[in-house]
Amino acid sequence: MTSITLINPADESVIQTVEHSTIERVDDAVARAVDAQRRWAALAPLERASALRRFASAVDGDLENLARLEVANSGHPIGQARWEAGHVRDVLTYYSAAPERMLGSQIPVAGGLDVTFLEPLGVVGIIVPWNFPMTIAAWGFAPALAAGNAVLLKPAEWTPLTALRLGELAIVAGLPEGLFTVLPGRGDVVGERFVTHPLVRKIVFTGSTVTGKKVMAGCADQVKAVTLELGGKSANVVFADSDLEKAAATAPYAVFENAGQDCCARSRILVERSVLDRFLELLEPAVAGVRVGSPTEDSTEMGPLVSAAHLAKVRSYVPDDSQVAFRGTAPDGAGFWFPPTVLLPGSRTDRVVTEEIFGPVVSILAFDDEADAIALANDSIYGLSGSIWTRDIGRAIRVSRAIESGNLSVNSHSSVRYSTPFGGFKQSGLGRELGPDAAAAFTETKNVFISSD
């Protein structure tokens, strides 16, 4: 059996070693999940709801511990990590209402009664990346469990600690043994086995577009359902008529949060040409003001990158001859640090403009008018997120309808809310997570006609 030694990204100290799951262990977990799911789905809806509420309460009781695990394993600032643990609790609480609201419909037909049922799929495999280990896991497992499924969860190799703890908390909360199993391990072993195992009926994958395509192709082999949350290169579009002070003051946090390791990062700032110079003047002190430092400090706003390998990847996008407008600060010494960096690329096709860097690097481009802004925002294989800054309500409506993206905010950089749907257009993904309909995405609709003869 192989293992991974986890390294604290802020100081490069060794945290612990985690054993990888084997294919045999995955197969055993699937068999136990099949059994647990049948019993779980047969419970009264209120019993499933109560179990999820106990799970939420166990997470709440462990909030500080979960947050500290994320600080050590992923380098997330403690304030952010506490928010993430609280978000997991809130997602569980939100979907604990779903078991009693899995509503089918009654459809008028001749000769009898026609009703639909939302039947659970069975066993669901959830594959999670390293950027938001516990929140992204919860977006999958909470609605999947609520809809009556069993869940197998594969955390990213680098960041398994909060997922493993959530697996323990599920047992503490009294969820049936085998219903929710966390299987740390390699993507090309554990993740691939989820895809190829015939009794895993749906895959929820979050990660890179390259791996997502591979997962989708694998799912096609068994006509397996799949939800994909993939990369992004989102635009923050700033019009001349906007509140420029506010747009500039908030722009750093829309891209440098989580050190830019965020699929929703607004990593292209598009500014109307007539106000570009003024915007840059306002942006420079805002970038310098981002507090980059030890993730254990309450005041820290940005921590290190997740790993040495990822730091090398981010660095490769900013060679010495890059057109750097200005940078923020970052600590020296041990740890995988990279300062907030603002680029002024010479062309709209530069790779820093088109590729997902997944680090604290933002490119600024000028546009001429509304049509140019829309064309530039849409000039991407991705379409996940984005922001629009304008005081003209008509323009806000036109531009938000025209941008090909799943999640937009006007005069703000709203983060993800558990009560609203989240997902991408184009190569940013397939399907939606969160919001009122997420539990239904873990069901098959069954139609039953009952003759009145």
Q: Hey, which residues are catalytic here?
A: 229, 263
Contacts (CB under 6 A) with ligand NDP, residues 289-318:
313
324-327 and 341-343 beta bridge pairing: antiparallel
Q: Give the chain's count of helices (H) and strands (E).
A: 14, 20
Q: What is the DSSP string of 259-271?
A: GG--TT---EEEE
Contacts (CB under 6 A) with ligand NDP, residues 183-242:
186-188, 191-192, 206-208, 211, 214-215, 230-231
Q: How far apart are CA 261 and CA 287, in angstroms?
A: 17
Q: 387 with 408: CB under 8 angstroms? A: yes
Residue 426, CB-side half-sphere exposure with 13 Å CA sphere:
16
225-229 and 429-430 beta bridge pairing: antiparallel
**Rounded to the nearest whole angstrom, what is the least distance from the CB of residue 262 to ligand NDP in the complex?**
7
Residue 381: φ, ψ to 5°: -75, -15
Tell me, residue by residue from 231 to 250, as one string, x for binding to ligand NDP by CB under 6 A and - for no binding.
Answer: x-------------------
Comparing CB distances to ligand NDP, the nearer of 173 and 306 is 306
Q: Taking CB under 6 A as the rule, does residue 255 contact ligand NDP? A: no
Q: Taking CB under 6 A as the rule, does residue 9 contact ligand NDP? A: no
Q: Taking CB under 6 A as the rule, does residue 25 contact ligand NDP? A: no
Q: How far apart are CA 288 and CA 267, in angstroms?
A: 17
**Rounded to the nearest whole angstrom, what is the least distance from the CB of residue 42 to ligand NDP in the complex?**
31
Q: Taking CB under 6 A as the rule, does residue 424 contact ligand NDP? A: no
Residue 438 CB partners (closer than 8 Å, separation 6+): 95, 139, 143, 421, 432
Residue with CB nearest ligand NDP?
187
> Residue 322: is it exposed, middle or buried by C-beta count within 10 angstroms (0-12/13-18/19+)?
middle
Tell me, residue by residue from 117 to 146, as one string, x for binding to ligand NDP by CB under 6 A and - for no binding.
Answer: ----------xxxxx---------------
Q: Taking CB under 6 A as the rule, does residue 257 contact ligand NDP? A: no
Comparing CB distances to ligand NDP, the nearer of 138 and 156 is 156
Q: How far apart are CA 409 and CA 272, in angstroms?
A: 18
Site size with ligand NDP, rule: CB under 6 A: 25
Comparing CB distances to ligand NDP, the nearer of 200 and 271 is 200
**Rounded to the nearest whole angstrom, what is the least distance from the CB of residue 220 to ligand NDP in the complex?**
14
Q: Return residues touching ligand NDP (CB under 6 A).
A: 127-131, 154, 156-157, 186-188, 191-192, 206-208, 211, 214-215, 230-231, 263, 313, 356, 358
